[in-house]
Amino acid sequence: MAGDGYIQGKLKDGVSSKDALTSDAPLLLLIPGSSIQVGQWARKIVINDNINTGSMFDYIRRARKEGFEVIVLNNNENYGIKVPGVERAIRGSESPEKHVSYVWENFVRPSKAKQVLIVAHSYGGVCTVNLVQNHFEEVRERVAAIAFTDSVHGFGNPFRKFPGAETWFKWFQTHAVNWARSSKPLDEPVDGRQYSSPLNSSGDCPYLSAGHESHDYTTVSAKESVFRFLKEKLAANA
């Protein structure tokens, strides 16, 4: 899903629902962590458990059942082979962060969706924070909720020096939740400072237990809570 490699200006089958760009239904963006192939949450689960659990299939099925349109981001495909043995950065997807911004600018922005939802796992949370930083007014207008799952983003003191950072920070506190790995029961509050980037001097949004101690399983374990949160935020913004 990038300028001259994976997408070439339009969504391909398999990375979005049929009417993702033309429907006014809520649009769900699924953003994986780093070093993961498109459509997967965790390679470890795909190999050791089953493909439905480790892939995004269950999230996509549930989203469609709820009436959401879906776009699956491919933020880890950043280089293509132009000629044998020569890698070239994919325009618009030179990094995971740039890929997410490209998808927003070229597909989400012109889409008919009135409300956008985001589920971001691990480094996908960093990409999401970067998106908010660079497109805050648009995000504030259209994004109803962000569900992080064991995201590694942070909002520490260096970040707060950016213009408008305090406004972003306050927005995250009311529109996002991070389900973090924990031995505590699902949805029990946890201290976000022990999970995030060293730059995160205080919890930027509510942190809840994902009900699992393994980073890889947090998205799977928290699925029901994630969708409940997304629907609650949609209703509140209706």
Question: Per-residue DSSP letters for the chain?
Answer: --TTTT-TTSPPTTSB-TTTTT--S-EEEEE--TT--TTBS-HHHHHHT-HHHHBSHHHHHHHHHTT-EEEE--TT--EEEEETTEEEEPTT-SSHHHHHHHHIIIIITTS--SSEEEEEETTHHHHHHHHHHHSHHHHHHHEEEEEEES------TTGGGSTTHHHHHHHHHHHEEEEE--SSPTT-B--GGGTS-TT-SS-SS-EEE-S-S-GGGHHHHTHHHHHHHHHHHHHHH-
Residue of 93, 111, 122, 221 marked catalytic: 122
Q: How far apart are CA 68 and CA 166, in angstroms?
A: 31
Clarify whether 122 is annotated catalytic.
Answer: yes
What's phi and psi for 21, nearest 5 deg? -100, -15
Q: Which residue numbers are catalytic?
A: 122
